[in-house]
């Protein structure tokens, strides 16, 4: 028995040594003009794709498509507000399992560029920051302010525990790690960037670190000693000149974000760019030996309430739509587009000797299912939680609430036509008088007042406010509180004495639906079911509805809004099942009775 245990221990030690040897078999380094993988020149041909925007069940399929277009690398951000949604409570499970995403990429023969930042922009709620940072007294994001650095350090160390072991110098497939993100478009504090670098290293990111910035801001955003990558520039001569000017006259040369298209926001036309406009540019960049990461290769969908918004002085507030199709080479459902084929043909010309492309997988089938009748409903006013009472309106942040909706209720004395004014509305409100919708206010349109006809006597005034997405870029990052952030006036009198109800709608399983007695003249939740004998992708066509959110089998598909340009919600086959499926719709302004589906998306219809 002793000899058996001895030989078993020896075998285990040999196996462990062999595993360590295998893990250490790759190196990745910078040369004067190229990247070196295992000492040999290596050109990254990369595409961005984000794990939370793709159902976990489809990660591998999307990566196979990446390989089929000729990519050897994928890039992804890491999203702080997903992984620490409440202070000190971390989540790396399910669709948040970024480590599994990276490991699947390795299994599929793909390298990874990792961007834990922790600011990501990405048309994502608050640029990736968790909402609760705004509740930390004195905290200033993207600065050397003490409280921010403390929270940042806690977060990045948790990320490091999971992802640092997956770097190439530890046997994984992560080639490089980005600190901060387009910081030059925000500030120029090199000491702050150096703190970023130090924290990343202390978190275990001991391989190659880099910065990325738009060309105009690169000088402000790079940290001497790190590789400066450039965003949005694809003239090979200018790329090389810019990098050399900021990197001791050397390369390598890396376009960290190359934009073959763009994103959309509510109420504006769908953005598309013909493939032929960019195929030649891709050809010239690859011919010059420059590494590239196309943003996006595959956008997917920004589900739940995670879309961000843009806002700057002199422009409207611009919340982004749920579809992140991006007119990318791989569409929202993961199917190749003409842009995919055009880019594949270009990349094929520049493959390293001995490298071949796999065949392009077949497109996923899609279907239109028969209209789904919604047979049960509950009015939002019939199912309210316990309120918080306060003299003045409280914000989402005051209520420790991240996303969704807040209902504000007070009693007023009616006296005919009166003007309601909401100061600091963020972002969209449905105003109800005695339980019936009287009008809406929209921050996008700079609307802050509404004329109401109030019956005489005591009147219940309800204001349902939706967080349409916190600003994700620019100087207003810390002016991102949601709800009613100012006062509410009726004529010239400030209204006080509020009952405030949190409605985050993160979980709707507790709702009790009924089939009778529902008031459809104010925001309503409705439920229905349908049966499938086979599952395929489909798209719910919400163009006859008003504004709201849809859940399928418990999965939040994202927002719809009749203003467009997005009129459909993508329903992944991975979230459907043979047999009974359940759908729930919450509509704020125009509840319907049926849901119609189609087999193609509608992303280009704008209405007013």
Catalytic residues: 182, 257
Q: Which helix (H) or strand (E) element contains residue 550?
A: strand 547-552
d(CA 406, CA 404): 7
CA angle 456, 461, 463 (to 5 degrees): 155
Residue matched to tokens 């704008």: 606
d(CA 397, CA 414): 31
Structure-token pair, residue 506: 């993160």
Q: Check: CB of residue 254 under 8 Å from CB of residue 242.
A: no
**DSSP character at residue 436:** E
- Polymer length in residues for the chain: 608
Give the closest residue to 570 by CA, choosing from 594, 584, 552: 552
Q: Check: CB of residue 464 under 8 Å from CB of residue 396.
A: no
CA angle 530, 531, 532 (to 5 degrees): 125
CA distances from 516 to 376, 519, 585 (A): 8, 9, 17
Q: Check: CB of residue 382 under 8 Å from CB of residue 395.
A: no
Give the closest residue to 199 by CA, choosing from 186, 173, 180: 180
Interaxial angle between packed helices 275-287 and 338-348, expressed in degrees from 0 to 180 and rounded to the nearest 10 = 20
Structure-token pair, residue 366: 């899609």
Give the 3-state secondary structure of residue 265: strand
Q: Round the CA-based radius of gyration of the chain to a whole number and report it.
A: 26
Half-sphere exposure of 576 (CA within 13 A, CB side): 21
CA quadruple 8, 14, 15, 21: dihedral, nearest 10: 170
Q: Which helix (H) or strand (E) element contains residue 112?
A: strand 111-117
Burial profile 467-489: b = 16 or more Cβ within 10 angstroms, e = fewer: bbbbbbbeebbbebbbbbbbebb
Interaxial angle between packed helices 59-69 and 338-348, expressed in degrees from 0 to 180 and rounded to the nearest 10 = 50
**Strand pairing partners for 440?**
430
């Amino acid at each position: 028995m002793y000899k058996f245990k001895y030989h078993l221990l020896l075998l285990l030690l040999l196996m462990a040594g062999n595993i360590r040897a295998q893990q250490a078999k790759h190196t990745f380094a910078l040369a004067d003009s190229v990247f070196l993988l295992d000492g040999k020149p290596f050109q990254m041909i990369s595409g961005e794709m984000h794990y939370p925007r793709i159902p976990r069940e489809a990660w591998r399929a999307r990566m196979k498509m990446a390989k089929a277009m000729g990519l050897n690398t994928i890039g992804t951000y890491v999203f702080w507000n997903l992984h620490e949604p409440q202070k000190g409570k971390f989540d790396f499970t399910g669709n948040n399992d970024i480590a599994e995403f990276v490991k699947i990429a390795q299994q599929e023969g793909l390298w990874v560029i990792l961007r834990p930042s922790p600011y990501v922009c990405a048309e994502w709620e608050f640029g990736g920051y968790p909402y609760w940072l705004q509740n930390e007294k004195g905290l200033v994001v993207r600065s050397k302010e003490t409280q921010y650095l403390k929270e940042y350090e806690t977060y990045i160390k948790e990320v490091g525990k999971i992802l640092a072991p997956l770097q190439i110098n530890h046997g994984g497939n992560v080639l490089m790690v980005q600190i901060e993100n387009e910081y030059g478009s925000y500030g120029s504090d090199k000491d702050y960037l150096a703190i970023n670098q130090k924290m990343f290293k202390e978190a275990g990111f001991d391989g190659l670190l880099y910065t990325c910035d738009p060309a105009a801001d690169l000088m402000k955003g790079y940290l001497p000693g790190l590789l400066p990558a450039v965003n949005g520039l694809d003239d090979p001569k200018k790329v090389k000149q810019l990098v050399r000017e900021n990197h001791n006259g050397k390369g390598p040369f890396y376009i960290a974000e190359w934009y073959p298209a763009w994103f959309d926001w509510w109420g504006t036309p769908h953005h598309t760019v013909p493939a032929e406009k960019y195929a030649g540019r891709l050809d010239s960049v690859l011919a010059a030996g420059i590494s590239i990461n196309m943003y996006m290769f595959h956008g997917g969908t920004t589900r739940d309430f995670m879309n961000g918004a843009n806002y700057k002085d002199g422009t409207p507030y611009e919340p982004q739509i749920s579809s992140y199709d991006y007119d990318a080479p791989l569409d929202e459902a993961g199917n190749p587009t003409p842009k995919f084929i055009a880019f594949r043909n270009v990349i094929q010309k520049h493959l390293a000797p001995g490298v071949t492309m796999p065949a392009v997988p077949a497109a996923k089938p899609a279907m239109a299912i028969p209209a789904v009748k919604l047979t049960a409903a509950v009015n939002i006013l019939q199912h309210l939680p316990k309120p918080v009472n306060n003299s003045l309106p409280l914000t989402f942040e005051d209520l420790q609430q991240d996303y969704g909706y807040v209902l504000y209720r007070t009693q007023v004395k009616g006296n005919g036509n009166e003007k309601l004014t909401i100061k600091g509305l963020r972002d969209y409100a449905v105003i109800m008088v005695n339980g019936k919708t009287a009008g809406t206010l929209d921050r996008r349109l700079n609307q802050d007042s509404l004329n109401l006809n109030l019956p005489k006597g005591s009147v219940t005034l309800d204001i349902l406010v939706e967080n349409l997405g916190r600003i994700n870029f620019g100087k207003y990052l810390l002016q991102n509180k949601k709800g009613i952030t100012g006062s509410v006036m009726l004529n010239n009198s400030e209204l006080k004495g509020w009952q405030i109800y949190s409605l985050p709608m993160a979980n709707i399983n507790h709702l009790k639906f009924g089939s009778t007695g529902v008031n459809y003249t104010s925001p309503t939740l409705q439920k229905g079911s349908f049966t499938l004998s086979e599952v395929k992708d489909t798209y719910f066509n919400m163009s006859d509805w008003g504004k709201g959110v849809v859940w399928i089998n418990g999965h939040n598909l994202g927002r719809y809004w009749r203003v467009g340009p997005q009129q459909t919600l993508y329903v992944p086959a991975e979230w459907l099942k043979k047999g009974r499926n359940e759908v729930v719709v919450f509509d704020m302004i125009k509840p319907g009775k049926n849901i119609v589906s189609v087999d193609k998306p509608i992303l280009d219809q704008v209405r007013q």
